[in-house]
């Protein structure tokens, strides 16, 4: 195809086109490859090896770039959560965010990743026959082996961090350690295995050599490209169960009337900055989930739809808030942005820009409605983690079954038989998406519910009322995050 090399237009052969797409090298290297094709009619062995090496290196670079962006989202979560809680609990929520990365990495290395994506190959469909350590997984010779682990670790850390916001300001530190271990080491990896692994029964990425009826629930498999269901529903469902079983913060609901009592976070500035960092990191979450450098058009489309859905979600949520006779406020807009981002995470490369706007708008309604519903039910989620991640995650999974475009599904998943029902297909793919929602919700809510109930039974789930009143920073972490004494006026005799 025509392309630009060293100031001249070349009509490249198929092999040359492959080399160009794979390498994105300098003009000098491209001129060398073009001269090779012109002289021989094909790439010589040496230059073909060069092109293949460059392709592999760019794949690794692409994955590492995405891993760094997604990991930077931990800074966004830390700022958002710290700003959304009261000042007396700042150190507690920050320590949990720090340990989500540290403990999450070790757990993901030893247990989580081998279960999630450590397929043994051959006829084996289970991973229990090998020790759960990364360096024992078959496939170490793959050029993206280490880079893929990094990318997936950043995803796992994000899923674990979601829960801490829903149980903030009253959850015991021992309970945090327990749910982080179980979620990162078992609950989340199983969902990844089912939905993204090559043997997963809902996976759209099954091994092409395997008989598809044995591995598909139907249709294309679950269309959840970057994890509206796999990551956000999983974290959000665990967050919801934690908030329900843990109970509301003391004083959140009036004893007699049940009226909601405001408990605003101590820093809107931190919350806003954290949200913008999360939005920035989402460009690693969604576009880089193409996993290979040669799929740049899919990545670019995912970046555009991600942007538009976030914009629509933020604007819609603020509009709803104002329409209900509330003053314009920052917090609804911030959560609306996150709602739009979660909603588009699953369908980002398979929908048109106009559909992304609609998905973000509906995501704003889903967030706002579910947030108000939980308050009616007296479920206290300080950061609205479950409305943003669980309920909008459900919507994101279902949106793929509605708006996925045939051409894009074929380009991303390699089949054009099943796509969005509103785009002219039958309802089979929507049915698959619904099955995915039910499976993930049942699995995560069931197991996390058992875990939180067990911790509650053992009196390990919640801090005492006295510690909650004083604040977890002073009662559990050696002092306040802020020097409040220094801000008091000096008394002059």
Give the Å distances, CA to CA, from 70 to 196, 239, 253, 425, 460: 18, 20, 36, 34, 32
Q: Is residue 122 pLDDT above 70, yes or no?
A: no
CA gap 190, 269 in Å, rounded? 37
pLDDT confidence band for 285 (50 / 70 / 90): very high
Average pLDDT, the chain: 86
Q: What pLDDT does 209 receive?
A: 59
Phi-psi region of 263 (alpha: psi -120 to 50; beta: other; left: phi over 0): beta
Token digits for 356? 């992304």
Q: Is residue 425 pLDDT above 50, yes or no?
A: yes
Q: Is residue 31 pLDDT above 70, yes or no?
A: no
For the segment 386-394, the average pLDDT, to the nearest whole number, is 98
Q: Is residue 452 pLDDT above 90, yes or no?
A: yes
Q: Write the CB contacts of 67 (distance below 8 Å, at least 6 apart in sequence).
A: 147, 150, 151, 153, 154, 284
Q: What pLDDT does 15 receive?
A: 43
Q: Is residue 213 pLDDT above 80, yes or no?
A: no
Q: Is residue 99 pLDDT above 60, yes or no?
A: yes
Specify the pTM. 0.87
**Of the candidates 228, 65, 64, 111, which has an alpha carbon nearest to the alpha carbon of residue 162?**
228
3-state helix, strand, coil in the chain (%, to 5): 65, 0, 30
Q: What pLDDT does 488 receive?
A: 60
pLDDT confidence band for 18 (50 / 70 / 90): very low
CA gap 381, 394 in Å, rounded? 18
Q: Is residue 68 pLDDT above 90, yes or no?
A: yes
The residues pairing with 5 across neighbouring beta strands, listed in sequence order, are: 8
Q: Is residue 10 pLDDT above 60, yes or no?
A: no
Q: Which of 6-15, 212-221, 283-292, 473-482 has the lowest mean pLDDT?
A: 6-15
Instruction: Give kind and range of the element (H or E) at residue 5.
Output: strand 2-5
Q: What pLDDT does 40 receive?
A: 61
The residues pairing with 3 across neighbouring beta strands, listed in sequence order, are: 10
Give the Å distances, CA to CA, from 88 to 98, 234, 487: 18, 29, 15
Q: Is residue 433 pLDDT above 90, yes or no?
A: yes
Q: Is residue 338 pLDDT above 70, yes or no?
A: yes
Q: Note the residue count of the chain.
A: 493
Give alpha helix (H) positions in 127-224. Answer: 145-166, 173-182, 188-196
Q: Write the CB contacts of 305 (distance below 8 Å, at least 6 apart in sequence).
A: 286, 344, 347, 348, 349, 351, 352, 353, 355, 356
Sign of CA dihedral 226, 228, 232, 237: negative
Q: Is residue 9 pLDDT above 50, yes or no?
A: no
CA gap 254, 56 in Å, rounded? 60
Q: What is the chain's alpha carbon radius of gyration, rounded to the nearest angstrom?
A: 24
For the segment 212-229, the average pLDDT, to the nearest whole number, is 78
For the segment 84-96, the average pLDDT, to the nearest whole number, is 95
In 3-state terms, what secondary structure has residue 171?
strand
Q: What pLDDT does 205 receive?
A: 83
For the segment 69-89, the average pLDDT, to the nearest whole number, is 96
CA gap 409, 36 in Å, rounded? 36
> Are the C-beta atoms of residues 161 and 77 closer than 8 Å to each other?
yes
pLDDT confidence band for 55 (50 / 70 / 90): confident
Q: Is residue 1 pLDDT above 60, yes or no?
A: no
Q: What pLDDT does 416 receive?
A: 86
CA gap 274, 293 in Å, rounded? 29
**Half-sphere exposure for 141 (CA within 13 Å, toward CB):** 1
Q: Is residue 218 pLDDT above 80, yes or no?
A: no
Q: Write the CB contacts of 456 (distance below 8 Å, at least 6 apart in sequence).
A: 245, 246, 462
Q: What pLDDT does 300 receive?
A: 97
Most confident listed range (117-121, 128-132, 140-144, 147-151): 147-151
Q: Is residue 358 pLDDT above 90, yes or no?
A: yes
Q: What pLDDT does 402 receive?
A: 97
Terminal CA-to-CA distance of the chain, rounded, Å? 85
Q: What pLDDT does 7 receive?
A: 34
**Of the candidates 353, 269, 372, which has an alpha carbon nearest to the alpha carbon of residue 311?**
353
In the chain, what percentage of residues exceed pLDDT 70?
A: 81
Q: Is residue 377 pLDDT above 90, yes or no?
A: yes
For the segment 234-257, the average pLDDT, to the nearest whole number, is 95
257-289 b/e (C-beta count within 10 Å ≥ 16 → b): eeeeeebebbbeebbbbbbebbbebbbbbbbbb
How crowded is residue 431: how many other Cβ atoms within 10 Å of its Cβ? 16
Q: Write the CB contacts of 115 (distance below 8 Å, at least 6 apart in sequence).
A: 127, 132, 185, 186, 189, 190, 193
**Of the candidates 216, 239, 107, 57, which has an alpha carbon nearest to the alpha carbon of residue 161?**
239
Q: Is residue 42 pLDDT above 90, yes or no?
A: no
Q: What pLDDT does 170 receive?
A: 95
For the segment 28-41, the average pLDDT, to the nearest whole number, is 58
pLDDT digits (tens, 9 = 90+) for 295-336: 999 999 999 999 999 999 999 999 999 999 999 999 999 999
For the segment 7-30, the average pLDDT, to the nearest whole number, is 44
Tell me phi and psi for residue 128, to 5 degrees: -75, -10
């Amino acid at each position: 195809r025509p392309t630009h090399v060293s100031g001249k237009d070349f009509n490249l052969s198929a092999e040359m086109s492959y080399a160009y797409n794979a390498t994105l090298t300098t003009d000098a290297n491209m001129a060398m490859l073009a001269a090779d094709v012109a002289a021989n009619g094909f790439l010589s062995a040496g230059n073909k090896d060069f092109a293949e090496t460059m392709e592999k290196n760019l794949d690794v670079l692409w994955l590492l770039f995405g891993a760094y962006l997604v990991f930077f989202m931990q800074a966004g979560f830390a700022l958002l959560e710290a700003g959304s809680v009261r000042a007396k609990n700042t150190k507690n929520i920050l320590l949990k965010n720090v340990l989500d990365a540290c403990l999450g990495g070790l757990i993901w290395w030893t247990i989580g990743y081998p279960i999630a994506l450590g397929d043994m190959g051959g006829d084996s469909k289970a991973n229990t026959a090998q020790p759960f350590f990364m360096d024992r997984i078959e496939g170490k010779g793959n050029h993206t082996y280490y880079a893929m682990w990094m990318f997936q670790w950043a995803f796992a850390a994000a899923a674990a961090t979601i829960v801490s916001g829903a149980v903030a300001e009253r959850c015991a530190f021992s309970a945090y350690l327990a749910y982080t271990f179980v979620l990162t080491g078992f609950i989340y990896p199983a969902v990844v295995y089912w939905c993204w692994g090559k043997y997963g029964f809902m996976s759209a990425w099954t091994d092409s050599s395997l008989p598809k009826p044995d591995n598909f629930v139907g249709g294309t498999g679950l269309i959840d490209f970057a994890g509206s269901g796999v990551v956000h529903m999983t974290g959000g469902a665990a967050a919801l169960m934690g908030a329900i079983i843990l109970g509301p913060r003391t004083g959140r609901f009036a004893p007699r009337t049940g009226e909601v009592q405001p408990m605003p976070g101590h820093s809107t500035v931190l919350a806003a900055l954290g949200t913008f960092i999360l939005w920035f990191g989402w460009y690693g979450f969604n576009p880089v989930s193409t996993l290979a450098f040669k799929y740049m058009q899919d990545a670019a489309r995912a970046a555009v739809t991600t942007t538009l859905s976030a914009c629509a979600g933020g604007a819609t949520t603020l509009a709803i808030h104002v329409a209900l006779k509330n003053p314009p406020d920052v917090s609804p807009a911030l959560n609306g942005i996150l709602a739009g981002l979660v909603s588009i995470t699953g369908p980002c490369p398979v929908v048109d820009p106009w559909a992304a706007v609609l998905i973000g708008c509906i995501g704003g309604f889903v967030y706002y409605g579910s947030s108000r519903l939980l308050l009616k039910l007296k479920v206290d989620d300080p950061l609205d983690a479950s409305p943003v991640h669980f309920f909008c995650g459900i919507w994101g999974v279902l949106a793929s079954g509605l708006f996925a475009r045939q051409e894009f599904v074929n380009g991303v998943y390699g089949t054009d038989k099943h796509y969005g029902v509103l785009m002219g297909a039958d309802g089979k793919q929507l049915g698959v998406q619904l099955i995915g929602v039910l499976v993930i919700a049942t699995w995560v809510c069931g197991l996390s519910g058992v875990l939180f109930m067990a911790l509650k039974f053992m009196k390990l789930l919640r801090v005492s009322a006295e510690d909650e009143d004083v604040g977890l920073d002073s009662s559990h972490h050696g002092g306040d995050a802020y020097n409040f004494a220094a801000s008091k006026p000096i008394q002059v005799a």
